[in-house]
């Protein structure tokens, strides 16, 4: 009898996606949200679920040499009815430069499995703008 891989242990297909938080709605509460108002989808529901391994937040403002304000990136798990805060990524104030890399931060996860009915959303704590404080959140993982 052939052995099938266990998709929870070994995801079957790599997954990569991103969400742009340029001029996204600012959310200042960490309380659960009914629905997804003010949130930006990062990982939509997947047929068999998904394993989340890494998030990367990267500056994407159009001005290279400006400064961005400190803020939080909120990561939400949505179960089809309510979004609850899963993680918070703190971004410090940084000054851009034409000779240095823009800010980025990586968060790694182990054992984070979203069932097929769940999705991942992101939001920010202050209103960003395309010139200075915009950022993109990337997700890496595997489809189950």
59-104 pLDDT, tens digit per residue, is 876 666 666 677 899 999 999 999 999 999 998 877 767 777 778 8
- So what's the pLDDT on residue 3? 45
Decide if 139 contacts 20 (C-beta within 8 A): no
Percent above pLDDT 70 for the chain: 81
Mean pLDDT, range 25-33, rounded to an integer: 89
Decide if 81 contacts 118 (C-beta within 8 A): no
**Tokens 């989808």 sit on residue:** 41
How far CA 82 is from CA of 10, 55, 79, 123, in Å, comes to 29, 22, 6, 15
For residue 127, which of 59, 88, 69 has the smallest C-alpha distance? Answer: 69
pTM assigned to the model: 0.88
Q: For domain 13-143, give the fold.
A: Jelly Rolls (2.60.120)
Task: Name the residue with higher pLDDT: 46 or 103.
Answer: 46
Residues 6+ apart with CB under 8 A from 81: 34, 35
For residue 122, which of 57, 53, 50, 31 has the smallest C-alpha distance? Answer: 57
Decide if 40 contacts 24 (C-beta within 8 A): yes
- Residue extents of the structural domains in the chain: 13-143
Percent above pLDDT 90 for the chain: 53
In this structure, the number of other CB atoms found within 10 A of the CB of residue 47 comes to: 8
Helices (H), the chain: none
- So what's the pLDDT on residue 126? 82
What's the mean per-residue pLDDT of the chain? 85
């Amino acid at each position: 009898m052939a052995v099938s891989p266990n998709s929870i242990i070994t995801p079957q297909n790599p997954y990569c996606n991103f969400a742009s938080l340029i001029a996204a709605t600012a959310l200042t509460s960490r309380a659960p949200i009914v629905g997804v108002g003010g949130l930006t989808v990062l990982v939509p529901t997947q047929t068999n679920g998904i394993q989340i391994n890494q998030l990367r937040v990267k500056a994407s403002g159009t001005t290279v040499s400006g400064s961005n304000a400190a803020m939080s990136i909120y990561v939400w798990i949505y179960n089809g009815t309510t979004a609850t805060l899963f993680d918070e990524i703190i971004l410090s104030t940084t000054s851009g430069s034409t000779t240095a890399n823009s800010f980025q931060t990586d968060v790694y996860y182990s054992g984070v499995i979203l069932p097929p009915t769940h999705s991942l959303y992101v939001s920010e704590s202050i209103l960003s703008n395309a010139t200075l404080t915009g950022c993109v959140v990337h997700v890496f993982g595997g489809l189950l």
